[in-house]
Amino acid sequence: MLVLLDENLPHSLRLLIRGHDVRTVEYQGWKSFTNGDLLRVAEEAGFNVLLTADQSIQYQQNIQSRAIAIVILSSNEREIMAAHLADIVAAIESAKAGCFVTVNLGT
Whole-model pTM?
Answer: 0.95
Query: Mind listing the pLDDT tens digit for each residue in 47-82?
Result: 999 999 999 999 999 899 999 999 999 999 999 999
Residue 107 has pLDDT above 80, yes or no: no
* Secondary structure string (H, E, C) spanning the chain: CEEEECCCCCCCHHHHCCCCEEEEHHHHCCCCCCHHHHHHHHHHCCCCEEEECCCCHHHHCCCCCCCCEEEEECCCCHHHHHHCHHHHHHHHHHCCCCCEEEECCCC
CATH 3.40.50 is the classification of domain 2-103: yes
> Residue 5 — pLDDT band, cuts 50, 70, 90?
very high
